[in-house]
Structure 1
Amino acid sequence: MRSIVFAGLFALSSCAPTNTNSVTSRAAVDMPAVKVFATPRPRRPVRSNREIARDFMDLTFRLESGRTVPVFTRFEGPIEVRLSGDDLPATITRDLETLLRRLRNEAGIPISRTDTDNAQINIEIIPARQLKSLVPNAACFVVPGVATWDAYKKARRSDALDWTQLQTRSRIAVFLPSGTSPQEIRDCLHEEVAQGLGPLNDLYRLSDSTFNDDNFHTVLTGFDMLILRATYAPELRSGMSPAQVRARLPAILARLNPRGQGIGNRQRTSTPRTWSDAVTTALSRRSSVPARIKSINEAMRIAQAEGWTDARSALGHFIKGRLHMGSDNARAFSHFRQADAIYATLPDAALQRAHVGVHMAAFSLTQGDGEAAVAWVDRHLNAAQTSENAALLATLMMLKAEGLSQQGRASAAQLVRVDSLGWARYGFGTEKEVSARLKEIASLSPQIWRSGG
């Protein structure tokens, strides 16, 4: 399930003033065609197979709720995928075909499209209001045992939808919201189809995976494809016990990921439920800001007590920085710098650093330091590109354009700004949303910041 709790985690809204009347011209730009990413460039995982085996077991034999999954399950045999709905986005067919091609080539899964009603995976586009009326905290989700939204509504309180009752996987349904951005639809496709095929859990300790509730990664990574390839290895079959799977994993991973045999094992403890709950509360807009700060302080206390120096520790600083923006910017950016310093020590956290870089570039603009803003952006453009995050890429480019404007380089700024718009249309969706982001970033200029913030 892709949570909406994290949906606003990477926005700039708490950083920008409300007085944006003088920046309307920045948003008055003709919109180009939607841009899409070409060939995926996933990185292979850079860690030991012993560590990956532990991750595989935790991802496979637990649900996100913490419940234990008693036996290993997967689809046995060829898998067909059906797409339906009344309001299909123009980009969804291409994005689905790209995903299925990657699953075949990188994970070795025999999966293809079909238009028949007996597909194993059924993807249905549902009006967002209907989806949220039943599952308010989910942007999208996957369930076993049914093929349609109507069947889900009838069975939603029965054991038919209980993953822990399965002995094998034969049919699942993926429900996606209509009326959202192409990127949100694609991100949901990747996460929900992948969980329908394999891992049912998310782990905050994974900094190189979509199987992580922090939602930094939005398309399947090299690690994710390795996990799925291991899931469909011929040595495994549905119905196996955890002990049987654990005994076979070392040989499977040695065959699939030979370079992981020679990498040292990082010691990473499991994530206490108290930490996860504190992070969720800290991100909930239903809670007051003081309550959210109290919760993230508790999460950071737990991280320190656990001795973490990984992505979980960095995430605490990132969230705390977000919560202090607009009220105590000095403290906010101190936490962003601490998050960046921790992420910099990790071999697979370039994307997380790019998200931090957005806030550092924004802060530089409010100080009138366009040169620093451009430097922050240039450091992270490649990570946004390789991770196929169009919303992040467009935001970085808009920030760069504003930084160039502050340096008096108006022509260069306009070129970058126009170039960002195709990515913005994919990442944010409507022209209204794209214009709002342009206006938001233009409002970070020192004059507007001081008069409106």
Structure 2
Amino acid sequence: MKSRAALILAMALNACTPTNVSEVSRAMPIANSSLPPVKVFSNSYHAGPVRANNDLALDFIELSFKLESGRELPVFTRFEGPVTVTVVGQQPPSLQHDLTRLLNRLRTEARINISQVNAPRANITINAVPRKEIRKLLPQAACFVAPNVSTLDEYRKARKTKKANWSLLRKRERLAIFLPNDVSPQEVRDCLHEEVAQSLGPLNDLYRLPDSVFNDDNVHTVLTGFDMLMLRAYYSPQLHNGMSRGQVAATLPHILRQINPRGEAASANFPTRTPIQWKKAIEGALGPASSRSERLEGASEALRIAKAMGWQDQRRAFAHYAMGRVLQRDNPKEAQRHYSAAKQYYAATPGTKLHQAYVATQLSAFAVSQGQGAQALQLIAPHVETARANENAALLSTLLLLRAEALDLENRPSEAKAVRMDSLGWARYGFGSDWAVRAKLREISSLNPLKG
């Protein structure tokens, strides 16, 4: 099975003290709320990657011929012919809107012949189920996809057999996605994007990718231009089921030359692979089951490896971010030093604007807590539109709430009130239930020294 981690490695949005973000995404009453209406994203534009086709070919091969566990996949697999999708179970109110938008993007950007059908089964069956049902099967997963099944009962029977073994798959005909129906709209949508993408295409994640959902840092939550390019290549008529790694590698230059001509002129960077030891260190640093000493040990090891590897990219930045998260409660000033280092490395890495927005929440939260409203406003300003463009409502609402507190510090209460009101509709999409939205309001409001 291929699963999306339950926000374990996501850059947490909490502004001051560490809390478990997955606990802020429970029951989602869209109606019967005293808060402003839920805001949803409608129009979107996701630019494609500007990098060498040589690098993109390497990314494609590593994404397509390995599982996250490191196990090699012997042959290339995908759907052949039109792909159908259906939804079964108790659908959350936001799901159809987001599924319609996703399928439209897959048709127009990735050129995949995919459509929704009103039937109990299809090539891809999306099962909307309670989160507890997913956790019974995979305790650390927010959602997952499995081959050769359509329902939860089928998966329970097949999960430990050859039938559900990705490495034994030779063609894709029937897959099931299991996503939670009792979490925030954003978490439902995030699962939808990642699991549909992996139903159709790559099954691996690579930490070195700055601009992709195929990355365990969970920073990108909707399919990016890079992801759509990978999926478009996946469904090129020049590829087919059963091709070997060598056959696909030999064909990719021709495909990429056709679909990404600007990549022919770009210089290749040939980024280094990410050692499994670094992945384990990051999991130790940010995993919810780790003690503080284990988290500190993991963050220290991730930084040590990043320095030894000579990384200057988002992986070095992420290691600093992880250290900041570990130190944030007990040593906030030292945490800020690591957040500033993360900001520096992200700024030097193309494709990391969204990462920088996450770092800005931490830096601006600290500025608010120190009564430095003007500095907080300066830190927040470049990132609000980035969050909006990347359709991240939780991040967007957090930035707006921080902006409101900074405006209060600057004695601009009417502006603060308007910004805070604007944030609430996005917070309802990002965090879900009324109590979760109000908890986020209280959390960020408590940073303001004027409010005690």
Q: Does 1:15 align with 2:29?
A: no
Q: Does 1:76 align with 2:73?
A: no
- Alignment partners' CA distance in 2, 1:306 and 1:378: 34
Q: Decide which of 12, 17, 35 is 2:39's aligned counterpart.
A: 35
Q: Decide which of 357, 361, 368 is 2:360's aligned counterpart.
A: 357
Aligned 1:152-167 pairs, distance under 5 A:
152-167=155-170
- Alignment partners' CA distance in 2, 1:303 and 1:311: 10
Could you list the per-position Cα deviations for residues 308-364 of structure 1 after superposition, in whole angstroms to 9, with x for gaps in the alignment? 111111000001011111211111000000000000011200000000000011000
- Alignment partners' CA distance in 2, 1:347 and 1:118: 41
Please say which of residues 419-428 and 109-118 is displaced more in the overlay. 109-118
- Partner SS, residue 204 of structure 1: coil
- Alignment partners' CA distance in 2, 1:76 and 1:216: 31
1:289 aligns to what? 292
Q: Decide which of 124, 127, 132 is 1:124's aligned counterpart.
A: 127
1:59 aligns to what? 63
> What amino acid sits opposite 1:73 in the alignment?
T
Could you list the per-position Cα deviations for residues 13-66 of structure 1 after superposition, in whole angstroms to 9, with x for gaps in the alignment? 65389xxxxxxxxxxx95111111121110110111100000000000000110
Query: How much does 1:6 deviate?
Result: 2.2
> What amino acid sits opposite 1:417 in the alignment?
R
Residues 5 and 284 in structure 1, CA contact (< 8 A), matched pair in contact too: no
- Alignment partners' CA distance in 2, 1:7 and 1:336: 16
> What amino acid sits opposite 2:55 in the alignment?
E
1:135 aligns to what? 138
Q: Does 1:321 align with 2:324?
A: yes
2:51 aligns to what? 47
- Gapped regions of structure 2 (runs ≥ 5): 20-32
Residues 125 and 177 in structure 2, CA contact (< 8 A), matched pair in contact too: yes
Query: How much does 1:102 deviate?
Result: 0.3
Could you list the per-position Cα deviations for residues 63-121 of structure 1 after superposition, in whole angstroms to 9, with x for gaps in the alignment? 011000000000000000010112x1111001001000000000000000012234100
- Alignment partners' CA distance in 2, 1:446 and 1:333: 18
- Alignment partners' CA distance in 2, 1:92 and 1:289: 37
- Alignment partners' CA distance in 2, 1:306 and 1:75: 38
Q: Decide which of 131, 146, 149 is 2:149's aligned counterpart.
A: 146
- Alignment partners' CA distance in 1, 2:7 and 2:398: 21
- Alignment partners' CA distance in 2, 1:44 and 1:385: 17
Query: How much does 1:177 deviate?
Result: 1.0
- Alignment partners' CA distance in 2, 1:66 and 1:5: 21
- Alignment partners' CA distance in 1, 2:83 and 2:438: 41
1:379 aligns to what? 382
2:182 aligns to what? 179
Q: For the structure 1 residues 194 and 261, does the alpha-carbon distance in structure 2 shift closer, same or farther, using more than 3 Å as the test?
A: same
Q: Does 1:268 align with 2:271?
A: yes
- Alignment partners' CA distance in 1, 2:128 and 2:18: 34
1:259 aligns to what? 262
Query: How much does 1:438 deviate?
Result: 0.5
Q: Decide which of 421, 426, 430 is 1:423's aligned counterpart.
A: 426
Query: How much does 1:377 deviate?
Result: 1.2
- Alignment partners' CA distance in 1, 2:121 and 2:354: 39
- Alignment partners' CA distance in 2, 1:130 and 1:236: 37
- Alignment partners' CA distance in 2, 1:372 and 1:274: 38
Q: Decide which of 328, 331, 335 is 2:334's aligned counterpart.
A: 331
Residues 15 and 365 in structure 2, CA contact (< 8 A), matched pair in contact too: no
Query: How much does 1:5 deviate?
Result: 5.1
Equivalent residues, number: 437
> What amino acid sits opposite 1:251 in the alignment?
H
1:366 aligns to what? 369
- Alignment partners' CA distance in 2, 1:36 and 1:12: 22
- Gapped regions of structure 1 (runs ≥ 5): 18-28
Runs of 4+ with deviation above 4 angstroms: none
- Partner SS, residue 80 of structure 1: strand
> What amino acid sits opposite 2:398 in the alignment?
T
- Alignment partners' CA distance in 1, 2:408 and 2:449: 12
Query: How much does 1:9 deviate?
Result: 3.5
CA-atom RMSD in angstroms: 1.4
Please say which of residues 389-398 and 288-297 is displaced more in the overlay. 288-297
